[in-house]
């Protein structure tokens, strides 16, 4: 039996090897091209997704601005809104709202100024900044009619702001009042003792570590906190006395407990002047159909955060207010 023939060596085998090499090289080139195309498509899809995430919020913000700021006729009031918790790092802060109030008061075509407030309160300092600016602007424009309108909530720091207006009205169900101050924290000293944890804090100044939640609360801590809260509370009471005066119909001992009421009870107690909605005030108090909104628009980041859903806002409770410092908020 003859042995199988070996592949021919020499010149005859060289074209076959070249063809195989060329085919392999072509396949490798094709795979490289397909990989590059796939990378390009992946990159294009990623860019498209990123642009969608950016364009969506911008479109919503643009539509929202168009909806919130319709064209107004010749008869209108200048409107400023205070929405959400009042804090330096929130849209409802002293600088932004004060600037909006200045623009509103400087509108010579407006028939007056309306402050629409829907807030549980917040920082006593930011609330005081807004209220004080409102009072100063009223003094600079004595002929400008001003109303504050409470919506869902007009409590604590929000009510503090409303005291800068000579006239205040709310809906029958508006949560109103809460003339008080709160400061809360946690006491975890017993917990770390049970867990065998040692707290190590170094300070210069005997009171620098006051109210440390990992240390037992001392009588000196209680006294200091009480004195500070009483001082802020007295500021709040002075503002209410100045804003409402003889219109208050209950003893201060009953009004300044930090309690809150519905709008109809607030009217009975003299905390507000009438029951209303925003449109009622425009028509009945100013005789105009429209309001020109001077509220600062959200920044790009705020609009994107709101539309994507990464920013959570709340009108109720204290959960999203930085703990530790005194707050003009109701304990709902």
- DSSP letter for 296, please: P
Asked if residue 203 has pLDDT above 90, the reply is no
pLDDT beyond 70 at 6: no
For residue 259, pLDDT over 60 is answered with yes
Q: Which of 224, 239, 259 is nearest to 330 (CA)?
A: 259
Percent of the chain with pLDDT over 90: 54
pTM of the model: 0.73
Per-residue pLDDT, 13:
60
Angle between helices 219-244 and 124-140 (to 10 degrees): 20
State residue 11's pLDDT score.
Answer: 56
Cα distance between residue 51 and residue 56, in whole Å: 8
Residues above pLDDT 70, as percent of the chain: 79
Residue 190 Ramachandran class (φ > 0 left, ψ -120 to 50 alpha, else beta): alpha
φ/ψ (deg, to 5) at 53: -65, -35
CB atoms within 10 A of CB 89: 9
213-217 long-range contacts, CB within 8 A, separation 24+:
213/185, 213/186, 213/187, 213/188, 213/189, 214/188, 214/189, 215/189, 216/187, 216/189, 217/187
Q: 60-64, 121-125, 148-152 — which is least confidently predicted?
A: 60-64
Q: What is the pLDDT of residues 287-315, one digit of tens each?
A: 999 999 999 886 665 555 444 443 343 33
Model pLDDT, residue 322? 39
> Which pLDDT tens digit goes with each residue over 133-143?
999 999 999 99
Residue 48 has pLDDT above 70, yes or no: yes
Size of the chain in residues: 332
Strands 146-155 and 168-170: parallel
Beta strands in 120-174 (DSSP E): 146-155, 168-170
């Amino acid at each position: 039996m003859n042995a199988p023939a070996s592949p021919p060596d020499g010149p005859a085998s060289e074209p076959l090897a070249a063809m195989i090499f060329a085919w392999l090289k072509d396949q490798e080139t094709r795979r490289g091209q397909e990989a590059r195309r796939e990378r390009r498509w992946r990159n294009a899809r990623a860019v498209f997704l990123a642009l969608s995430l950016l364009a969506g919020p911008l479109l919503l913000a643009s539509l929202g601005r168009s909806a919130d700021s319709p064209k107004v006729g010749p008869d209108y009031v200048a409107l400023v809104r205070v929405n959400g918790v009042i804090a330096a790092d929130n849209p409802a802060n002293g600088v932004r709202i004060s600037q909006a109030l200045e623009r509103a008061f400087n509108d010579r075509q407006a028939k007056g100024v309306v402050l629409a407030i829907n807030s549980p309160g917040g920082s006593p300092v930011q609330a005081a900044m807004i209220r004080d600016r409102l009072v100063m602007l009223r003094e600079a424009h004595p002929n400008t009619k001003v109303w504050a309108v409470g919506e869902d909530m007009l409590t604590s720091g929000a009510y503090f702001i409303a005291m800068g207006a000579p006239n205040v009205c709310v809906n029958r169900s508006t949560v109103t009042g809460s003339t008080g101050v709160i400061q809360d924290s946690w006491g975890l000293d017993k917990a770390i003792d049970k867990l065998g944890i040692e707290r190590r804090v170094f300070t210069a100044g005997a009171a620098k570590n006051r109210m440390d939640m990992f240390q037992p609360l001392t009588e000196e801590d209680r006294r200091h906190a009480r004195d500070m809260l009483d001082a802020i509370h007295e500021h709040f009471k002075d503002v209410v006395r100045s804003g409402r005066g003889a219109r208050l119909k209950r003893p201060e001992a009953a009004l300044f407990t930090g309690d809150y009421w519905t709008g109809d009870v607030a009217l009975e107690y003299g905390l507000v002047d009438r029951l209303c909605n925003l449109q009622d005030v425009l028509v009945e108090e100013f005789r105009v159909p429209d309001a020109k909104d001077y509220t600062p628009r959200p920044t790009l980041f705020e609009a994107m955060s709101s539309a994507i859903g990464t920013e959570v806002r709340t009108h109720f409770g204290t959960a999203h207010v930085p703990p530790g410092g005194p707050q003009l908020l109701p304990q709902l």
